[in-house]
Amino acid sequence: MVAVASLRPGTGAPALAELRAHTRRTLAPYKSPKAVCWVDRVQRSPAGKPDYAWARGVAEAAAGAGAPSGAGGAQRATAAESVTPT
C-alpha cells in the first residue's frame, strides 16, 4: 500500500514509522502505508473526493522512478512528474 499525500502549509513530512503508527490506531495493519509519495496537492474529482485514478498514476510513476521504498524512504512528486488525470 502506497499513500499519496500532501502536507498542510508550514508542516514537515513525518517519518514513515510515525505515519504508520498513527494510521494503525484507526486502520487494520495491512492498510497502513508501506511507503508515501508526497505531492504538492492531491487532485480531487468534481464531487470533491480524492481522484484515486490520478493517485494510482502518481504512485506508479514514483515507483518507476526508483522510489518510494518500504524501508522508510519517501518520494516527492512535482507537477511535472505527476500523471495528469483524464
Residue 31: DSSP 8-state = G
Q: Is 9 part of any domain?
A: yes
Residues shown for the chain: 86
Q: Determine contact, residues 50/44, Cβ cutoff 8 Å.
A: yes
- The reported pLDDT for the residue numbered 72 is 39
* Alpha helices by DSSP H, 4-51: 16-23
pLDDT for res 38: 93
What distance in Å separates the CA atoms of residue 48 and residue 33, rounded to the nearest whole number?
23
Does the residue 62 lie in any domain? yes
The confidence score (pLDDT) of residue 78 equals 42
- Each of the 86 residues of the chain gets a pLDDT tens digit; together they read 889 999 999 999 999 999 999 999 999 989 999 999 999 999 999 999 999 999 999 999 988 876 544 433 444 444 333 333 33
Whether 63 is in a domain gets the answer: yes
Which CATH number belongs to the domain containing residue 41 in this structure? 3.30.300
Its domain, for residue 53, covers 2-77
Report the number of distinct structural domains present in the chain. Answer: 1
